[in-house]
Amino acid sequence: MDSDAPYLPEEILTNILSRLPVKSLIRFQCVCKDWKNLFKTPSFMAEHVLHSTQQDSLLLLKSPGYKCNPEYVRLIHRDMQVLEYQTPPSSVRQRDIIGSSNGLVCLILMYKSSFILWNPATREVLRVPKAPNLYHTGICDLGFGFSPIVNDYKIVLLSLSSLDDDGVYLVQVFSVSKWSWKEVEVGKLKGMVSFVAPGFSFDGAIFWFGFGCKPRFRASKRFLISFDIATESFALITIPKSSLTSESRLTTYDNKLAMLSKSRVESTESFSIKLWVMEKRVGTSRKRWTWRKIYTSNPFPDRTYFLRSLTIWRNEIVIVGVTGGETVLVFCNLHTNEFKMLTMGKYSIGTVISAIS
């Protein structure tokens, strides 16, 4: 009866499937083994994320506090509707989010030092084997990211031999495609820097804010530490002094690494949000990177407590705040300079939300 329907080449079929919503993907795992396996591959997940980004949704993940709260995954649709996304599997609750990349979320159960990979698109939960070596100080710093070059996700784990000045880093990397841990050279960072975890993943690398903790560096010296996921090597990138505050956050803008920072508006009590982008300088050998401040917001709205900036979504900076006892998302439009608020319900103050756009 249906013999007239042609067999579609794999490339076309994959393109169609990657446009299906999560709900359909979960249903269609039951079609056949090939499809079930396809939905788990990094390249398919990357394509799926690409298409769902085009559909313009923002996924919000709320890190749980001491009490288990199952309602921490929300989806914000482009028409600003807050949707219940799905209830995360129980094994995912009460975890801290390390990061997300290409649709895969990496979480950690801190007191057990164990990692979990969660794919919200297929609801799959994978338990990562424990890192073979850890100093008694435990896990100091973490990062998670994806590199299209090697088509692999990696978890980076740093442990410090001692908290004294002579402590050295032990760096271990978990490759999702090889499903194993491996020790890598810390290189020129050797115990001279501290990381501000967790890392932010972008363009095949993981970035952390870092500061010098050895006499060689002045204590105030701050920079970005980058880890190339493909080559497994670290590098330091300078950042403009004025850009860094404790509320600084890495994000992406215009396909570039970007930084959001909060700074006081002169001689007032209010502050504004600044946006910096990092650009590759062509033709110079010494300083390959340069930062450019491209936006300064209007003063932040009154009577709204600033928690943290999250990300940039559809030309708006997204900030978590609290007003009148309720968690709100504050959207600051880069074109019109207007602030807009979206109430997220009565979460407790101090709730941390990370966003995947």
Partner 1 sequence: MSSSVEAITVLSSDGDEFKITVSAAKLSKPLNWMLEDVCFSDDCDEVPTIEVNSKTLVKVIEYCEKHAPRANSGASDSDAEELKKWDIEFMKMDVKDILFHILMAANYLHMEGLYDLACQTAADLMKGMTVSQIRKIFHIKNDFSSEEQEQLRRQHPGCSFD
Tell me which residues touch partner 1 (CB under 8 A): 2, 4-9, 11-13, 15-17, 19-21, 24, 26-36, 123
Measure the CA–CA gap between 19 and 279, rounded to whole angstroms: 32
Measure the CA–CA gap between 189 and 297, rounded to whole angstroms: 35
DSSP 38-69: HTTSHHHHHHHHHHHHHTT-EEEEEPP-SS--
| CB nearer to partner 1: pick between 123 and 340 | 123
Residues 6 or more apart whose CB falls under 8 angstroms from that of 151 comprise 42, 43, 177
Least distance from C-beta 176 to partner 1, angstroms?
Answer: 20
| CB nearer to partner 1: pick between 26 and 192 | 26
| CB nearer to partner 1: pick between 78 and 264 | 78
| CB nearer to partner 1: pick between 4 and 165 | 4
| CB nearer to partner 1: pick between 123 and 308 | 123
Asked if 342 and 328 count as a contact pair (C-beta separation under 8 A), the reply is yes
| CB nearer to partner 1: pick between 33 and 287 | 33
Asked if 48 and 121 count as a contact pair (C-beta separation under 8 A), the reply is yes
Q: Backbone phi, then psi, for 187, in 5-degree steps?
A: 65, -140
Least distance from C-beta 75 to partner 1, angstroms?
Answer: 17
Least distance from C-beta 48 to partner 1, angstroms?
Answer: 11
The answer to whether the bond into 198 is cis (omega within 30° of 0) is yes
Closest residue by Cα to residue 211 from 198, 193, 229, 186? 193
Least distance from C-beta 315 to partner 1, angstroms?
Answer: 18
Least distance from C-beta 170 to partner 1, angstroms?
Answer: 36
Give the tokens for residue 146.
Answer: 């994806």
Least distance from C-beta 28 to partner 1, angstroms?
Answer: 6
Contacts 24+ apart (CB under 8 A), 25-30: 25/121, 25/122, 26/122, 26/123, 29/122
Asked if 287 and 281 count as a contact pair (C-beta separation under 8 A), the reply is yes
Measure the CA–CA gap between 343 and 82, rounded to whole angstroms: 9
| CB nearer to partner 1: pick between 11 and 302 | 11
Least distance from C-beta 331 to partner 1, angstroms?
Answer: 24
User: Could you give the count of Cα atoms lying within 13 Å of 354 in the half-sphere of its Cβ?
Assistant: 19
| CB nearer to partner 1: pick between 47 and 232 | 47
Least distance from C-beta 68 to partner 1, angstroms?
Answer: 20
Q: Which burial class, exposed, middle or buried, applies to 127 when counting CB atoms under 10 A from its CB (0-12, 13-18, 19+)?
A: exposed
Return the bridge partners of 221, or none: none
